[in-house]
Chain A
Amino acid sequence: MVELILLPVFAVLYNIAVVPELAALLLIILLGTAGVAITGTVFSAVAAQARLRELLLPLLLLPVMAPVLIASTEATSEVLRDPPELSPIWLTFLVAFDVVFLTTSWLISEYLLEE
Chain B
Amino acid sequence: MARETKTVARGGAIISLPLLLLVFLLLAAASYGALIVAPTESTMGLIQRIFYFHVASAWTGFVAFGLVFIGSIGYLRTRSLKWDWLSVASAEVGVAFFTVVLVTGPIWARPVWGIWWTWDARLTSSFVLWILYVSYLVLRTLVEEPERRAMVAAVFGIFASLDIPLVYFSIWWFRTQHPQPVIGDGGSLDSRMWWVLMLTWLAMLGLMTVLIRLRVRLEALRAEMDALQMTELNNLS
Contacts and interface: CB of A to CB of B under 8 A. Distances in A.
Interface of A: 39, 42-43, 46-47, 49-52, 56, 59-60, 62-64, 66-67, 70-71, 89-90, 93, 96-97, 100-101, 104, 108, 111-112
B146 to A, nearest CB: 13
B131 A46 contact: no
Given A49-B143, A108-B158, A63 B169 contact: no
B225 interface: no
B162 interface: yes
B128 A60 contact: no
Nearest 3 CB-CB pairings of A with B: A50-B142, A63-B132, A63-B131
A93 B169 contact: yes
A49 B142 CA distance: 9
B53 to A, nearest CB: 25
Given A51-B142, A96-B166, A108-B76, A46 B155 contact: yes
B152 A70 contact: no
B151 A111 contact: yes
Nearest to B133: A63
13 contacts: A46-B139, A50-B139, A50-B152, A51-B142, A52-B142, A59-B138, A67-B170, A101-B159, A108-B76, A108-B155, A111-B76, A111-B151, A112-B155
A38 B156 CA distance: 14
Contacts of A62: 131
B135 A60 contact: yes
Contacts of A60: 135, 139, 156
Contacts of B139: 46-47, 50, 56, 60
Nearest to A88: B173
A58 to B, nearest CB: 10
A60 B142 CA distance: 12
B148 interface: yes
A52 B135 CA distance: 13
Contacts of B163: 63-64, 67
A97 B148 CA distance: 27
A102 to B, nearest CB: 11
Interface in B111-137: 128-129, 131-132, 135
Contacts of B70: none
Given A49-B148, A52-B142, A111-B76, A63 B128 contact: yes
Contacts of A51: 142-144
B223 interface: no
A29 B127 CA distance: 26
Contacts of B129: 63
A108 B129 CA distance: 22
A62 B159 CA distance: 13
A40 B159 CA distance: 12
Contact of B152 (A46, A66, A89, A90): A46
A104 B160 CA distance: 12
A64 B160 contact: yes
Nearest to B142: A50
Interface string B168-180: 0110010000000
Nearest to A49: B152
A100 B162 contact: yes
